Amino acid sequence: MALMPVAEALAHVLAGVTTLDSETVDLRQASGRTLAHAIAAHITQPPFDASAMDGYAVRAEDCTTIPCTLTVIGQAAAGAAFGGELKSGQAVRIFTGAPVPRGADAIVIQEDTHTPDRTHVTILEAAQRGQNIRPRGQDFKSGQDLLKAAQQLGPRSILLAAAGGHASLPLVRRPIVAILATGDELVEPGQVLKDGEIYTSNSYGIAALVEAAGGTAKILGVAKDNLQSLASKIREAQDADILVTTGGASVGDHDLVRPALETAGAKLDFYKIAMRPGKPTFFGSRPISAHTQRILGLPGNPVASLIGARVFLVPLIAKLLGRTESATRLTAHLAQPLAANGPRQHFMRAALDETVSPPRVTPFPSQDSSLVSTLSRANCLIDLPISAPAMPEGASVQILRLDF
């Protein structure tokens, strides 16, 4: 049976996926989250004509002939407005951020003045109307859209929301991703290994990837290679939007994950894809109460597992959040020749150098999928199409950033 191409498999993974429901979240907890719908300003900013500098508020028509001496009738500071109104020949001492007094239409900066005594100021430079004044509504006006739906929030957007008067925001609920490792040989890091045992690492790497992508990771631990253990762990994933399994997806006597999932009500869309590493990847879904749980089965090999999660799980989380995955693909030039590819799309671990133009990429000498240390040193994957011909140094290739 022909293997399903990666692009077709990804289309299956994303088919029918809609944005999750929203929740109201305190502004302090909104960083990294996704906005459920556009928000508008509650206020006009600035809410009054404000001084942009320390100096003196004056009437520009009083300062056309210089030097001129004005009578200082008061002071305005941020949060402490001057309550009166300027008349001809008068000035108000003013500080940055203070409301411009009524009657004033210019701010003369402190450096362009001289104060002969406490009640007078001499203006040394001519003033122009509007000079050093931030007009009311210069930044934004009440009711004006500030942030768009599906926007991922960071320091700048959170600052803008706060400035617009929002103490909380409507955010898309984080998708819950349950992660289940399988295999009798797996033990938790930190325990003493017995003969034939290895540490479980897939769950921890995928959990970190889930959190970076905007989801909430729920590590279920390790299921043993028997249907009872698998069934028990699968039941623990009832509340998850996505269930990710690693291992147990091949055709050996101990590869029981798919039968266990089918017993739990899952229907599989595909099994095995034309991908290297990651051929024994499967995807399906099962109905749980009022929602559909997506199921992504990844290989037990840690490198194949994490690369598969990057290719399939990250876009799935992005779609559940209602946002488009960030632009993580680009073209780079090979720093060395590359051999022809075989019948599977090859995601090759590589080092990308963006200090040169155009960017250059160097594939690592060994692409053995057991080498976790090689994956940790890579900052990108060369996405090599099926049956790609041999390419010389300098040839263009597509790369996928590893931004985790």
Residues 293 and 177 grouped into a single domain: yes
- Residues 70 and 193 sit within 8 Å (Cβ to Cβ): no
Q: How far apart are CA 245 and CA 228, in angstroms?
A: 16
Does a structural domain hold residue 262?
Answer: yes
Q: Is residue 313 in some structural domain?
A: yes
Read off the pTM. 0.89
* Residue 160 in domain: yes
Contact (Cβ atoms closer than 8 angstroms) between residue 344 and residue 274 = yes
Q: What are 235-247's pLDDT values in tens digits?
A: 999 999 999 999 9
End-to-end CA distance of the chain: 34
Domain match, 123 and 157 both: no
Q: What pLDDT does 254 receive?
A: 53
Please indicate, yes or no, whether residues 150 and 253 belong to a single structural domain of this protein. Answer: no
pLDDT value at residue 255 = 74
Q: 13 and 95, same structural domain? A: no
For residue 290, the model assigns a pLDDT of 82
In a domain, 282, yes or no: yes
Q: Write the CATH number for 71.
A: 2.170.190.11
The Cα 209–Cα 289 span in angstroms is 27
- pLDDT for 250 equals 61
Domain end call among 274, 293, 320: 320
Distance CA 362, CA 264 (A): 45
201 in any annotated domain: yes
Q: Is the residue at 190 inside a domain?
A: yes
Closest CA relative to residue 4, chosen from 388, 289, 292, 312: 312
Q: Which CATH number fits the domain that encloses residue 341? A: 2.40.340.10
Same domain, 227 and 192: yes
Q: Indicate which CATH number applies to the domain containing 151.
A: 3.90.105.10
User: Rg (Cα) of the chain, in Å, rounded?
Assistant: 31
Is residue 177 domain-shared with residue 316, that is, in the same domain? yes
Kindly give the pairing relationship between strand 168-172 and strand 50-51: unpaired
Residue 361's domain comprises: 329-401
pLDDT recorded at residue 138? 97
Residues 289 and 209 in one domain: yes
What is the tally of structural domains in the chain?
A: 4
386 in any annotated domain: yes
In this structure, the answer to whether residues 191 and 107 fall within a common structural domain is: no
pLDDT score at 252: 56
Q: Are residues 262 and 249 in the same domain?
A: yes
Can you list the residues of the chain whose pLDDT is less than 50? none
Choosing from 320, 352, 374, the residue where a domain stops is 320
Q: Are residues 335 and 315 in the same domain?
A: no
Same domain, 163 and 178: no
Domain boundary among 276, 294, 320: 320
**Token pair listed for 373:** 């240390």
Query: Tell me: the pLDDT tens digits for 160-200?
Result: 999 999 999 999 999 999 999 999 999 999 999 999 999 99
- Reduced to 3 states (helix: H, G, I; strand: E, B; else coil), residue 94 is strand
CATH code of the domain containing 233: 3.40.980.10
Give yes or no for a contact between 13 and 106, defined as CB atoms under 8 angstroms apart: no
303 and 233 part of one domain = yes
Residue 1 lies in a domain: no
- For 158, the token pair is 């959170």
